[in-house]
Amino acid sequence: MRSKLRGKDFITLRDWSKEEIDILLEVSAEIKEKFKKGEVTPYLPYQTMFLMFFEQSTRTRNSMEAGFAQLGGHANFLDTSTMQISHGEEARDTAAILSSYGHAIACRNCFWGIGNKYLNDMAKHSKVPIMNLQCDLFHPMQGIADLLTITEHKGKTKNLKVSIIWAYATSHKKPISVPLTQALLFPRYGMDVTLAYPEGFELPDWVIVEAKENAEKNGGSFRITLDMKEAYTNADIVIPKNWGSWSGKKGDMDLEQFKDWKCTEEMIKLASPDVKYMHALPADRGNEVEDSVIDGPHSIVLDEAENRLHTAKAVMILTMG
């Protein structure tokens, strides 16, 4: 099965079967253990990857560059503002050329209504795997790292109470790709998922339909609430994170009315005693979350961030090896 994943695109986990995702988790755990032991893992020697970024990045860029170097390859960082893309070159031409120069192309493009289409256009014309480093709809690299982190800390996924909660922020408008990916992925592993947000921050209807179908097929559940406290109550995992109003209809909405949508010590006390706080980072400290929570005993954000390295390496090994 592992060899059958060679050449497979990694644009959305919806295109990966549960068996394939399980293999991805297994390889992630194996490569993480080797990293901890200081074992060298030059599994992809002399290979070349192109990393295309339309937006800024810290964890994604560095986990990809460091990870690929640790596997024996070299990653070329490409700021798309310095490429011919900025002069109108189309995705199909960029993909055709770059795929003739190396062994994989990874891209971050979060422009609404454009990003996912761009990645799929590249995939149609690329000779090598296309990896999604976050688009307007999906963030599979974050999703698989989150899943690994949850299994490590909880030892199970079945009937785990996980709450994906909108949080107030004043920093840049964040895509819906992280909560959308989590909403689709977690029910596939039998989790009892609660999605909470104030009115105006709904996810697309098709996401809710599919999330509920995934829950029904795998023995979990999926529900929506507009009550923040309800989402925290008895939760095993809480993931309070800001996302923008994707429809654009709420562009003039006064966000100040939602300042209380914040992860505080008071909210954490409503959850289970061993609740874990997660966030894809960067967190808008003081707005999304109190320092005492993100830096406190319930927080596993650093483990979550570190796992971005190990899961990224697993994706590379399986699709490029």
- Mean pLDDT taken over the chain: 96
Residues 55 and 202 in one domain: no
Residues 22 and 166 in one domain: no
Q: Considering the chain, what percentage of its residues have pLDDT values greater than 70?
A: 98
Average pLDDT over residues 169-198: 95
Residues 92 and 159 in one domain: no
Residues 51 and 147 in one domain: no
The pLDDT, as a whole number, for residue 251 is 53
The pLDDT, as a whole number, for residue 247 is 67
Q: Which amino acid, 2? A: R
Residues 174 and 103 in one domain: no
Residues 184 and 282 in one domain: yes
Average pLDDT over residues 282-288: 97
Residues 32 and 119 in one domain: yes
Cα 311 to Cα 57: distance, rounded to the nearest angstrom = 17
Number of separate domains in the chain: 2
Domain of 126, in residue numbers = 2-139+307-320
The pLDDT, as a whole number, for residue 254 is 79
pLDDT, tens digit, 9 for 90 and up, residues 10-27: 999 999 999 999 999 999
Residues 97 and 237 in one domain: no
Residues 101 and 68 in one domain: yes
Interior/surface letters 281-318, b for 16+ CB within 10 angstroms, e for the rest: eebbeebbbbeebbeeebbbbeebbbbbbbbbbbbbbb
Cα 24 to Cα 311: distance, rounded to the nearest angstrom = 7
**What is the domain-level CATH number for residue 33?**
3.40.50.1370
Residues 84 and 206 in one domain: no
Average pLDDT over residues 200-215: 97
Judge residue 81's burial from the number of C-beta atoms within 10 Å of its C-beta, 0-12 exposed, 13-18 middle, 19 or more buried.
exposed
pLDDT, tens digit, 9 for 90 and up, residues 21-80: 999 999 999 999 999 999 999 999 999 999 999 999 999 999 999 999 999 999 999 999
Q: Which DSSP string corresponds to 138-174? A: --HHHHHHHHHHHHHHHS--TT-EEEEEE----SSPP
Q: What is the pTM of this model?
A: 0.97
Residues 186 and 266 in one domain: yes
Residues 176 and 41 in one domain: no
Spatial strand order of the sheet with 237-241 comes to 221-225, 192-196, 161-166, 237-241, 276-277
